[in-house]
Amino acid sequence: MAQFYDTIVVGLGAAGVTAATTLVKAGRRVLGLEAQDRVGGRVNTVPFGNGLVELGAEWIHGDQKNCVYDLATKFNIPAVTQGLRLKTFRSNGEEVDKALVAELLQFSLHIVDHPPNQPEPLGTFITEKLLEYIKTTKPELLDDQDFITEFLAFNNLLTNNYEASNDWTDVTTISRYEELDGEQLLSWHGHGYNTFFNIMLNTYNNGPGLPNLDLRLGAEVTRIITPQHPRERAIVTCRDGASYEADNVIVTVSIGVLKAHHSTLFSPPLPKDKQIAIDKISIGVMDKIILSFDTPWWPTQGVSFFGFIWRGEDKKKVGEEHYWTTRIFGASRPMGSRNCLTMWTSGDVAKQVETLPEDVVRTKCVGLLQRFIGDNIKVTVPQPSAIIRSTWYTNPFTRGSYSYDNLLTPQYPDARAWLGAPLTDSAGAPRVLFAGEATNLNHFSTEDVLTLTLCF
């Protein structure tokens, strides 16, 4: 016999935990089902190096009208500003003029806020405007076409890591995305982002948890039956055969999972507009490769991020087999573990890196650090003591990192609204509801993964 609850929440990431805890505090009996063996979804804090690192969401983006930031403040957890203190090197170890890189990046970020009237690929738009800016304000740079070409490639990779796209020409200039105001890189540092979930579930500082909330980990949902009659209950079945009933269900799985399984997951099938939304909204991949060392060997004063800008002649010498190394655009210093460096990649290359042998990734990443940083500071980069990688694409329960506005977005401006619309019974009552970053009209992608899912 199926067990009965007021509400079943499928997926226990930021949106799912927020939904479950909000309803429990309102007096409802809730079951949370999570396919993975942990709570957190695309937030994954792990012990590594001499502290904690984030394989997924790492920062709180914005401290104004941000529920996550407000929650941390309420519990006296200082969110430390990391900032993008950038030092950039070329592939011969030469350091690039800091002021020049900052100026060009600031212009690129600024111009995104002034899109053209007609949609076009974001990369095409930024490239055109940036070249115009260089021609007008820094004509001497035109004599160094190699730098311009490779800076654009670097800028492309930066955009891809922000959007989780494969190329900045896959992203549209027309978007409803809104950035929250305030500091954009606020770190949980030694506390770890999983502290958010501990607070929400009332387990922070050995809290007793929440009554009326049942959590089941390792519970992969394979079937959700939407009731058609007002007196019927929704039925949720898991791969292990367990079945549960509820007045309503809230589905918070990633759009990557919906793309893979919606045709078999829902009964009756989803309405046409929701299927179109699932098909047309893109989910990309942003991955991390984190290396720990016995002791830090890199510069630690006044820099939080090391950028890699290739020289064309060096890039040509990289064989096709190791092309992926040219798509790792830099390394950052995670604030939760002081003897680690995080290297970043995205898109199709990120998917490839997830499948490469660990020793190959380790060797090539050390080679990159040596080429770009070690040679500059006259240090032989030591072998890392350990390596850990994110696998957001090959993980069957995420199938990607987060969504972005692709070139189809202007043709389907209501796709996110369609995705978030509830399934109703014959009386019009919502019985299966949808939440998560891809359903948010203005704060999707990293913004919603990290913040506004809390405002359920």
Residue 344's beta-bridge partner residues?
A: 288
pLDDT digits (tens, 9 = 90+) for 256-272: 999 999 999 999 999 99
3-state class (DSSP) for residue 307? strand
pLDDT at 446: 67
Q: Are 79 and 63 in contact (CB under 8 A)?
A: yes
Strand order, beta sheet including 286-292: 86-90, 305-309, 330-332, 340-346, 286-292, 386-389
User: 314: which residues sit within 8 A by CB, 6+ positions away?
Assistant: 91, 92, 371
Q: What does DSSP assign to residue 324?
A: G
DSSP code string of 63-115: SSS-HHHHHHHHTT---EE----EEEEETTSPBPPHHHHHHHHHHHHHHHTS-
Q: What percent of the chain has pLDDT over 70?
A: 97
DSSP code string of 240-276: TS-EEEEEEEEE---HHHHHHHHHHHEESPPPHHHHH
pLDDT at 442: 77
Residue among 282, 252, 102, 60 nearest 175 (CA): 282
Which residues in the chain show pLDDT less than 70? 1-2, 446-456
Its pTM stands at: 0.94
Supply 251's token pair. 């589905």
The whole-angstrom separation of Cα 116 and Cα 112 is 9
pLDDT at 323: 95
CA distances from 157 to 160, 162, 331, 343, 371 (A): 5, 9, 13, 12, 19
The whole-angstrom separation of Cα 379 and Cα 362 is 18
Burial 277-290 (b: 16+ CB within 10 A, else e): bbebbbbbbbbbbb
The whole-angstrom separation of Cα 119 and Cα 410 is 7
Return the CATH superfamily for domain 3-43+56-80+184-283+397-454. FAD/NAD(P)-binding domain (3.50.50.60)
Tell which CATH classification among 3.90.650.10, 3.50.50.60, 3.40.50.12160, 3.90.660.10 matches the domain 86-182+286-389: 3.90.660.10
Across the chain, which distance is largest between two alpha carbons, in Å? Answer: 76
Residue among 154, 67, 145 nearest 108 (CA): 154
pLDDT at 445: 77
Q: Are 226 and 431 in contact (CB under 8 A)?
A: yes
Domain boundaries, the chain: 3-43+56-80+184-283+397-454, 86-182+286-389
Host H or E run for residue 348: helix 347-355
